[in-house]
Chains A and B, each alone.
Chain A
Amino acid sequence: METIFTGRVWKFGDKISTDLMVPGSYVLARRDLDRREAALYCMRANRPDWASQVRPGDILIAGRNFGCGSSRNGSEPLKALGITAVIVESVARIHLRNAVNTGLPTLVCPGILDLAEEGQTVRVDIASGSVRNLDTGATLDGDRWEADSPPYQILMAGGFMPFFKARLREAGLIPDGEPQGTRP
């Protein structure tokens, strides 16, 4: 998986809950939505028109405790909308783990809200943790994953499912070759 992403910035504040990303009443209570349909409800309560404006390659930056609350996977709609990287002041544990497992790079980078304004372009290197605002030239260093840590290995494998299936094959629990399923 690539580690450098450049994109247009969307900016959110503190405590963006997973209830905002995956609203229970509109998504969890229904089982008939595909990923794209579900993603269009993302942030509908706090920013009604946002989901339809996201373009593939955009980057989301946000404040403290991003993804607080429910264990619903908020990274799934973000990825489905085309967000390629998320940079936050701090992140909730469950959300970070879901992000890693979804293969959506989510970098903790204190000071990010002061580094970039909405609509500017930033470049982020997940491997080094560095972020650069290409409009202003300002830079910032975020947390760096340890390269041999399980979450970084899972992220680089493209998410949990490819990582898991490789382990199942290594253990001889499923046959070599094409995996039967591609979706979690």
Chain B
Amino acid sequence: MGMTIAEKILAAHAGKAAVKPGDYVWCKVDATSGHLLGALERTGLDQVWDPDRVYLVEDHLAPPPTVEAANAATELRRLVKKYGIKHFYEFGRGGILHQLFPENGMMAPGELIAMGDSHSTSGGVFNACVTNANIDSLYILAFGELWFRVPSSVKVIVDGQLPSWCVGKDVILEIAGQLGTDFGLYKSIEYTGTAVRQMTLAQRWTIANMGVEVGAKFALFEYDDKVGEWLEGRVGRPYTPVAADDDAEYEEVHRFDVTGLEPMVAFPHDPGNVHPASAAQAENIRIDQAFLGSCTNARQEDLEVAARVMKGRKVADGVRMLVSPASQEVYRDALKAGWLEVLADAGCLVEHSTCGPCFGGHLGVLGDGETCISSSNRNFQGRMGSASAQVYLASPATVAASAIAGHIVDPRDYLS
């Protein structure tokens, strides 16, 4: 019996020849995050299993909006010193963990990583099993291992010719809209197909990132040269890409053809409540805020397309647009390329890299009755602030075009 990518990676890390869905296994874990070092210290344990495989950044309350948050950040710095954590990133040298950690070599093909924050599925873009661990990340910090239930696997084949304007966000919203936000519940999703191979790494990254939005434990992509080139100079250790066996077993196989896809928008309050942007445009949905940021869609090409849309144009009266690059590396690239200048000239507020607005924490919280179009990942009720705020999810191009129009539009008219 053949194995899927997830089964192979879990078996290899459990020291077993084979595993099957439903098995419980204890696995060696290649890296984790150190966000709960304080809880580790309170157990009395004074060391971590490998200080070089622990990554840490404060990205949610970055920089601190309150005295309590500032004190928590100070406490993290103390713990970083105490435990000798090698990969800690100060404000101005950091970013959102799902962008920052791989930029700094945390994950490589074939690896198994469990770390803080739900969007850890992002790492599947590197052909690695990356998922969330919260309090049980302490087990990794202490022993370098953790239990996993082997998930069943689902294959999503995305074929066809990717339209020139189409990005990963449009594709994952189409998938979530068609299959629902729980089709991947507790499963490993493997994405493949001719359109996936055409996609840039950043486009696939958005799809992996929103794996958790369709319930997935892992959201995996195959290895190719685009992955290898991006990791070049970032990962020094040897790694081995993992492909599924030809006779691997999938619980379900879903097929999509993106040739005729339209730009897609998720309506409140569910990432699976998806409609074409043209339908949103017909409804004349006025917006108060546009947000281009988050671990989902704030990479170099996301800022580039927003700059292309906004060049020589202005954010509409009555609308404010916030831009937050996914990391300091992205910020600096966008600065050098001139994209941030274009966005600032258009009237955007360019923020530093932060999770703040996406989770309704700070730096752009929504008030009562406000409407926002966002390049982020979730539009649950209350997600970005007030319970009566309305959040629509879309691609960077759709967000930027809507900010100019003042209401949600199909971005294709703006992408000359």
Contacts and interface: CB of A to CB of B under 8 A. Distances in A.
Interface of A: 15, 17, 19-20, 23-25, 28-32, 44-46, 64-65, 68-71, 73, 90-94, 96-98, 101, 146, 149-151, 160-161, 164-165, 167-168, 171, 173-175, 179-181, 183-184
B118 A69 contact: yes
B134 interface: yes
Given A68-B181, A69-B118, A24 B361 contact: yes
Contacts of A149: 24, 149
A65 B185 contact: yes
A19 B378 contact: yes
B157 to A, nearest CB: 23
A175 B381 contact: no
10 contacts: A24-B383, A25-B360, A28-B361, A65-B181, A91-B185, A93-B215, A94-B212, A97-B134, A101-B136, A184-B42
Given A69-B118, A150-B24, A19 B43 contact: no
Contacts of A20: 380-382
Q: Which secondary structure characterizes the binding site on chain A?
A: loop
Contacts of B383: 17, 19, 24, 69
Interface of B: 24, 26, 36, 39, 42-45, 60-61, 65-66, 68-69, 71-72, 116-118, 132-136, 138-139, 142-143, 147, 149, 181-182, 185-186, 212-213, 215-217, 270, 359-362, 365, 378, 380-387
Given A173-B45, A174-B45, A183-B42, A68 B182 contact: yes
Given A29-B61, A29-B360, A179-B43, A69 B143 contact: no
- With a 10 A CB-CB cut-off, give which of A31, A46, A160, A180 has the most chain B CB atoms: A31
B382 A23 contact: yes
Given A70-B359, A92-B215, 14 more contacts: A24-B382, A31-B71, A68-B182, A68-B380, A71-B117, A73-B135, A91-B185, A101-B136, A164-B43, A164-B139, A167-B142, A168-B142, A171-B142, A183-B42
A161 B212 contact: no
